[in-house]
């Protein structure tokens, strides 16, 4: 399976632009959400192959947003995008319901590798 469409959930316009550029340059179309509430509404209306979720969002954070999305769409792939990069953070985010995690600043090659691995494992 190849990713065709992603949802980027990110409140920082520079980070949003970077992730969007990485995806589109790899042939993946993407929609943008700037809050958890917006992301939940979009997932209800549209089909996405993967959601790229910032942790620190205004209002509802990425962890709570992910829990709600996963409660309604158990098989939805969600990759945490976060500035948290301490030992144990990856395990903490996996335990919270994320399928994987990548720290910011984003390493483009690692980012694409993780997305492809998630899709391969879940197809």
Q: What CATH number did the domain enclosing 116 receive?
A: 3.40.50.2300
The answer, yes or no, to whether residue 123 has pLDDT greater than 70, is no
Average pLDDT over residues 48-67: 96
- Return the percentage of the chain with pLDDT > 90, whole number: 70
Domain region containing 25: 5-121
Number of Cβ atoms within 10 Å of the Cβ of 71: 9
What is the rounded CA–CA span in Å between residue 80 and residue 98?
6
CA atoms of 53 and 9, how far apart (whole Å)? 5
pLDDT of 1 > 70? The answer is no
**Structural domain tally of the chain?**
1
66-119 pLDDT per residue, tens: 999 999 999 999 999 988 777 888 889 999 999 999 988 889 999 988 888 887
Q: What distance, in Å, lies between the first and last C-alpha atoms of the chain? A: 6
Q: What is the pTM of this model?
A: 0.92
């Amino acid at each position: 399976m190849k990713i065709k469409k992603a949802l980027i959930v990110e409140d920082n316009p520079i980070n949003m632009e970077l992730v969007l550029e990485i995806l589109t340059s790899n042939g993946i179309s993407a929609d943008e959400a700037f809050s958890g509430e917006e992301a939940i509404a979009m997932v209800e209306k549209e089909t996405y192959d993967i959601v790229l979720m910032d942790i620190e969002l205004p209002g509802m954070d990425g962890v709570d947003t992910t829990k709600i999305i996963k409660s309604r769409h158990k098989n939805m792939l969600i990759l945490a995008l976060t500035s948290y990069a301490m030992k144990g953070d990856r395990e903490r985010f996996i335990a919270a319901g994320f399928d994987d995690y990548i720290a910011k600043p984003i390493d483009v090659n690692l980012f694409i590798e993780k997305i492809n691995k998630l899709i391969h494992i879940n197809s």
